[in-house]
Amino acid sequence: MEEIVERLVLAQEARREELLLLLGDLSPEEAEHLRVAADRVRKSCVGDKVYLRGLIEFSNICVQDCLYCGIRRSNQEADRYRLDLEDILSCVDEGKRLGYRTYVLQGGEDPYYTDERIVEMVRAIKERDPECAVTLSVGEKERESYERYYQAGADRYLLRHETHSRELYEQLHPGMSYENRLRCLQDLKEIGFQVGAGFMVGLPGQTVADHVEDLLFLKELQPHMVGIGPFMPQQDTPLKDAPAGTAEMTCRLLSILRLLLPKVLLPATTALGSIDPKGREQGLQAGANVVMPNLSPTRVRDKYLLYDGKICTGDEAAHCRACIERRINSAGYVVDMGRGDGDIL
């Protein structure tokens, strides 16, 4: 196991069987060895800085029906909302005041948000804060739409692949195809976006062998960012009784990703912070170097509920900003409010 880690550190690669071993039963000492190796690589490649991104959840209306997700179309219990441009710009103003340089605009696949409206939103944010980076996370679109967003000034795009198992992907996403997901990621890269892919950990039916494929796929895709978090059940979805993924497995995957893609931007996600009160700190110590505190207005915070037990649903943006800095420092790292552009390509 130590040899596998050593080769990962030196060559940034591992074979299928080796990855399977790293994700299997490790003694606490072996697991710690992997974590320490990732933390070292993180220090030499990206330093002790942790970048903050302000997350604005602008709509929880969605045409998709993903089995795991609390804002899926079929969920009649979800209290739906949509922020208008003025609301979004108030979040940006608040973000700017708190020192953010990146805004992540995330929403369900909401038909109200046509390409024209998304373009208008990107332009308006860039006008408000010309130095900032705008990240979009609005799902699967045609290539032409992505091109329009890019031309309007969007810099980055997050679209997790969710799972590289085609079978599991299609089981969890009725009416969607894995092929189209990959097409979207390819288009986004070709257009010039800094691209974020990623997956959930511990989905029902998912195996460690599936995670090995997630890792190999990401190594090949070479995204700038990788978002991973534990699956967590949501009470009004078909997967409400399924067990959640674990912080331990999520952290192990974060460490391996740091070794496979040393310069990648790797968030300690909200889901990781929700499954364990110290989850984000553990994620940072395992190799993560980004946190995405919430900037959404408090009145809609408790409505963007993809899973149960989400943290920060009652907190003001300023509270989260201070809280997260404290947590980052306590884990042994420092906040960097720069744009933190990815540069692995």
C-beta atoms surrounding 174 within 10 Å = 13
Asked whether the beta carbons of 89 and 121 are under 8 A apart, the reply is no
Shortest separation between residue 270's beta carbon and ligand 5AD, angstroms: 9
Residue closer to ligand 5AD, measured from CB, 8 or 200 = 200
With respect to ligand FES, which residue has the nearer C-beta, 62 or 311? Answer: 311
Nearest CA to 141 out of 157, 164, 165 is that of 157
Residue 258 labeled ligand binder: no
| Token output for 171 | 């089981």
Residue 73 engages ligand 5AD in binding (rule: CB under 6 A): no
Residue 108 interacts with ligand 5AD (CB under 6 A): yes or no:
no
Q: Which two tokens stand for residue 173?
A: 């996403």
Q: 306 contacts which partner out of ligand 5AD, ligand FES, none, CB within 5 to 8 A by kind? A: ligand 5AD
Rounded to an integer, what is the distance from CA 253 to the centroid of its chain? 14
91 is in an annotated binding site: no
Task: Closer to ligand FES by CB, 227 or 293: give it.
Answer: 293
- x/- track of binding to ligand 5AD for residues 132-171 (CB under 6 A): ----------------------------x-x---------
Out of 31, 138, 195, 232, name the contact with ligand 5AD by CB under 6 A. 232
Residue 267 CB coordination number (10 Å): 28
**Interface with ligand FES (CB under 6 A):** 293, 312, 315, 319-320, 323-324
Residue span binding ligand 5AD (CB under 6 A) among the ranges 210-218, 228-236, 279-287, 329-337? 228-236
Which of 69, 256 has the CB closer to ligand 5AD? Answer: 69
144, 186, 282 from 176: Cα distances, Å: 19, 17, 34
CA distance 326 to 335: 9
Q: Is-contact 259 215, C-beta < 8 A?
A: no
> Closest by alpha carbon to 4, among 34, 44, 25?
34
Tokens of 42: 């993180």
Instruction: Please give the residue ranges that form the binding site for ligand 5AD (CB under 6 A).
Output: 68-69, 160, 162, 200, 229, 231-232, 234, 271, 306-307
Which residues are part of a known binding site for (3R)-3-methyl-D-ornithine?
A: 137
